[in-house]
Structure 1
Amino acid sequence: MNDTLTPDVVGRRVSVNGECATVRFHGTVPPVAGLWLGVEWDNPERGKHDGSHEGTVYFKCSHPTGGSFIRPHKANFGVDFLTALRDRYEDEPEDDAKKQIVTIGNIPVETIGFGSVIKKQSQLSELRDISLRSCAVSCAGDKGDIASTCPNIRVVNLSQNLLSAWEEVTGIAEQLRHLEVLDLSENKLQFPPGSPAPVGTFSALKVLVLNRTGITWAEVLHCAQGWPALEELYLKSNNISISERPADVLQLVRLLDLSSNQSIDENQLFLIAYLPRLERLILGDVGISSLHFPDAGVGCKTAMFPSLQSLVLDDNRISQWSFINELDKLQSLHSLSCLRNPLTVGSEAKTHLQFIIAKIGQLRTLNRCEVGATAGVFEARKQVTENAKDTVFEYCGGRQTWLSFRDPPGGAARGRAGLPEGVREGVERGGWAPGSRPGQAQRGVPGRPPQIPSPLPHGLWITIHRFLFLK
C-alpha cells in the first residue's frame, strides 16, 4: 500500500505482520514528515499509546496502550472474496497432512486444499463448504463475480478477516443464494443505522456466528429483519446488554449463544423469555448469580421459555439453591450444564450434583453426562420423587419438610406420586426433622415417616433424605 491514501480509510480494517487493527486516523503527525495511519489494535498489548503524541490527541482508543502510528505502506488492507477463494482453493498443493476441521456453530467444516479433497472441489463452481478464515478478506469485489463463479456455496467461514462494514457482508451474501451457514467471528464490523439488507439477501440463512464482532443488541434486532429463516445465532463476547424484546424477529431461533457478555442479568433474560422456538440457551460466563420467575410459585411451571430444553450456565456465580429451585419451573428443561460455579465445585461437588438431579425432576443430562449414570440417583428419583415432586409435595428455600402419603381406596395417590408399595400415610408439611421418633404426631395427625421398602438401596435413601431435609 502506498502513501497516497484518501481520508476514507478511517474505519477500515488492516493487518500488519499478522496482527489486526482498525484505522482511526490518517494524516500528518508533526514534527515527523509524511503521512501516518493511527491504528487501534485488536490486541491492546501490541500498541504503545492511547492515540496521542506529545500532548496532541489524534484518535482515541478503548485501551490506554491500544494505539500505534504506522506508515501506510506497512498496512495490508486485504483482498476481495474471490481473490481469497482462488488463493485458497486453486493454488494449494496436495498435502493430506494439512487437513483441518473448523467448527462453524455446531457444524464441522473440512478446509480444502488437501489430497482427494482438492480433486473433488477443484472447480470453484462445485464448492459448497468453504473456509476463508484469516485470509484477509475485506470486500465483496465486483458485483456479480461471486454469483457467476461459485453459486453453490452453502457454508462460509469468514472469521478473523478484515471486513469492516455490514454492507460488505451483504455484498457477498446477496450473490450466494443458497447460503445457510455464515461465520463472521472476529471481524470488527460497523452495522448500518438505516434499512436492513435487501429482502432475500439472507433468505436461506440458518446459522449465523457473530462472536467478537462488536455488535449491539439493537443492531442484532435491526439486522434480524433480514434473517427470516435463522435458527442458530451466536453472539459470544460482544459486551451485549439486552435492551428490548424481539418483536417479529428471531421467531424461529432454536439456539442462542450469549456467553461471555458480562452485562447480562436475569431481568434482561426476561426480555427474550417468549421466543417461541428457543430450545437451547448458552449463558456461560455472563456473571449471573440469581434467577426468579415472577409468574410461577413453588411447584408451578413458568410460562417463560416455553420450548427451552437445554441450558448452559458454566462459569457463573451460582451459589444458592434457590437458583436451582427456579430452574425446575421451566416446562421443558431436560439438559443442564453448570460447571465451575460456586455451588458445583469443592469437596461437596458430587453431593450437590445429586441434589440438582433430585430438584429438577425432568433432567436427563447434567454437565454433559446422562443422569442415569450419576451414582444411581436417577433410579431413586424415578421411584420416589420424579412424579411426586410436581403432584404432591413442594421443597423450597431450604425449609425442613416432611411429607408422607395416604392411599385413598385403590391407591390412587400412590399411583399418581409414582411411589413404591408401602408408603401409606397422610400428606403433611410440618416440623418433622431427622432424628424424630417414628410414630410421633405431626400437628395432631397421627402418623409415621414412610418406610422405604427394601428394594431401594440404603445409599439412595440417604440421598433422598438429604434432598428433603438439607439446604
Structure 2
Amino acid sequence: MPSLSEAIHKKYDKEGDVCIKFDLPVEIYVPKISPRKSIPSLLVLNDCDIDSAGDEHELDHLCQIVEELDLAQNKLEKWAEVFGILNHMPKLKFVNLSFNNLRSAIASVNTQTIFPYLRNLVLNNTQVDWKAVRTLLRLLPLEELHLSLNNYNCIDLDSTQYSNLKKVHFMGNPVTTWAEVCKLGLAFPELESLVLADCPLHSLDISSDRDTSLGGRTESESEPSQTFTSPHCCFTHVHFLNINNSLLTSWDDVERLGRFPALRQLRLQGCPLFEDFTEHERRQLLIARLPNIEMLNGGMFIGYEEREDAERAFIRHYMDKPESERPERYNELVGIHGELQPLVNVDLSPKKKVRVMFTCGEMTDIRCISVYQTVHELKQKLEPFSRISVSKMRLFYMDQDLKVVVGAQEMRYPTRKLYRYNISTGDEIVIESK
C-alpha cells in the first residue's frame, strides 16, 4: 500500500518540460501538465489505500502550503502515522480522516508539536476511542469536531472543559438518553452547534434516566457522578440543534427545547411524535410551541404572520380538548390572542347537481344534471332528446351572467368534467350538429 508521499507523487508528479527552440537567442519551456497539478492548498487523496506518512523530507518539501487535508477512506490505522503526516503541514486548518480504522490508542505524542491553525477535525466512522479523543482535544485547538458513526453509546470526556470547541457532529451514535448528551455540553461549555441526527434518543427528560446516567460506569470506569438540573443547563450557548430521526414521542420534549436560552435554529423531523400529522400541521404546532425558534427544519425565517397563524391554529387545535390535555403553552397563547371562535367550515366544493336549460333548435328542456359527469357522458344522455349522435354532436355552454360579454363556450373536451366549466343552476347548454 502506498504512503502519503507516494500517493502525492502519483497524482501530482510532473512528467518533465518540453523545450522549444527557435533560431533566436530565446528558448521557451512549455510544461507537459497544467499548473493546476502542482500541490494545492486543498489536498484530497480519498480512497488511495494510504497507510503511512512516507518520506519525511519529501513531505516537508511538498506540503508546506497545505491548509485542508482530506484522507477519508484510506488504510491509516496508527496514530503515529497520522501525526507523522500532520507534522509536515504547518498551515493545516482542516483534516478529514473519516473511514480510516483508528481504534488503536495514541501511544505517545511529541508535545512540542504545535498545530496553531488546526480548527476542524473529522473522525466519522473511525471507531476512535474516548481516550484518544481526550488526547486530541488537549493537543489541538479545535473549534469543530466530527464524531459521527463511531458506535458510541456513552460519552466519556472526564471533567476537563474545552472552551474553544464550538461545533460537534455526533450523528448516528446509539446514545439513548439526554443525560448522556449533557456530558457533551459539560465538556464544551461554549458549544454553539450540536448535530445529533439519527441518534435513538427517547426523551429530553433527564429525570427519567437519571438512575442510569448518574454515577453509571462508562469507558473510564471511574467517572464521577454528574447532576444536571435541566435538559438545557449545559447548553446555554447552543443556537443550532439537529435531532432529526430521533425516537421522541412526547410534545413535552418539544416544550423542553423551547427553554434552551440561545436556541434559534432547530431541525426536528422523522420522529414518531409527528406520524399522525401532516407536514403543515407539524410545522404549525412546532412554531407555536417554540417561540424562540427563528428557523425550523432548514426552512425560511419564521416571519410574524406565519408565527401568528401557527399560534392561532394551535389555540383552535386544543380549544375543544379537555383542560387536562391542554399544554401550558395554550394558556400563554390565549393570553396573547384571546379566546378564539372556531373557524366556520365553508364548503367550497362545487354542487353535485345543477338545473340547466338545454336548447336544440326550437326544442328546449330543463334538466337536473350531475356536474361530475364528463362532456362525453352528457352527450350520450342527450342523444334521445336531440336526435344527434355523439360523434356529430357539439355542445356550447352559456353562462347566464356572462353570455352577453363572452358568448358561448364550446365544450370540446370529451373527458372534461362539467364542474370545470363552473356550471351553475340557470345556465344554458346549446346543442348543435357538426
Same fold (TM over 0.5): yes
Q: Secondary structure at the match of 1:372?
A: coil
Deviation at 1:200, TM superposition (A): 3.1
Unaligned runs of 5+ in 2: 16-32, 208-227, 315-323, 345-434
Tell me the amino acid that sits aligned with residue 398 of structure 1: P
Deviation at 1:304, TM superposition (A): 2.1
% identical aligned pairs: 22
Deviation at 1:130, TM superposition (A): 1.2
Residue 360 of structure 1 is aligned with which of 276, 290, 306? 290
Q: Distance in 2 between matches of 1:185 and 1:316?
A: 23
The verdict on how the C-alpha distance between 1:218 and 1:279 changes in structure 2, with shifts beyond 3 A counting, is: same
Residue 185 of structure 2 is aligned with which of 261, 273, 281? 273
Tell me the amino acid that sits aligned with residue 366 of structure 1: L
TM-score (norm: length of structure 1):
0.57
Deviation at 1:372, TM superposition (A): 2.5
Equivalence map 1:130-141=2 (5 Å): 130-141=43-54
Deviation at 1:242, TM superposition (A): 3.4
Q: Distance in 2 between matches of 1:346 and 1:384?
A: 16
Q: Distance in 1 between matches of 2:271 and 2:333?
A: 34
* CA displacement 1:216-249 (0-9 Å, x = unmatched): 223211222111x211111111111334345445
Unaligned runs of 5+ in 1: 1-77, 93-117, 386-394, 406-416, 424-448, 460-471
The verdict on how the C-alpha distance between 1:316 and 1:171 changes in structure 2, with shifts beyond 3 A counting, is: same
What's the counterpart of residue 38 of structure 2?
123
Q: How many residues matched? A: 298
What's the counterpart of residue 150 of structure 2?
238
Equivalence map 1:68-467=2 (5 Å): 78-90=1-13, 119-124=34-39, 127-227=40-140, 229-245=141-157, 247-248=159-160, 250-274=162-186, 275-292=188-205, 302-372=232-302, 376-380=305-309, 398=327, 402=331, 419=336, 450=339
Check conservation: 1:221, 1:249, Cα contact below 8 A: no
Deviation at 1:354, TM superposition (A): 1.1
Q: Secondary structure at the match of 1:350?
A: helix
Deviation at 1:398, TM superposition (A): 3.4
Tell me the amino acid that sits aligned with residue 323 of structure 1: D
Deviation at 1:86, TM superposition (A): 1.6
CA RMSD in angstroms, aligned pairs only: 3.4
Q: Secondary structure at the match of 2:61?
A: helix
* CA displacement 1:237-294 (0-9 Å, x = unmatched): 1111334345445321111011111135212111122322211111011100201266
The verdict on how the C-alpha distance between 1:177 and 1:247 changes in structure 2, with shifts beyond 3 A counting, is: farther
Q: Distance in 2 between matches of 1:246 and 1:338?
A: 29
Q: Secondary structure at the match of 1:267?
A: helix
TM-score (norm: length of structure 2):
0.61
The verdict on how the C-alpha distance between 1:404 and 1:398 changes in structure 2, with shifts beyond 3 A counting, is: closer
Structure showing greater Rg:
2
Q: Distance in 1 between matches of 2:332 and 2:47?
A: 61
* CA displacement 1:435-461 (0-9 Å, x = unmatched): xxxxxxxxxxxxxx6569xxxx969xx
Q: Secondary structure at the match of 1:88?
A: helix
* CA displacement 1:167-188 (0-9 Å, x = unmatched): 1000000111111110001100
The verdict on how the C-alpha distance between 1:91 and 1:212 changes in structure 2, with shifts beyond 3 A counting, is: farther
Of stretches 189-198 and 134-143 in structure 1, the one that deviates more from structure 2 is 189-198
Check conservation: 1:273, 1:304, Cα contact below 8 A: yes
Q: Which has the higher helix share?
A: 2
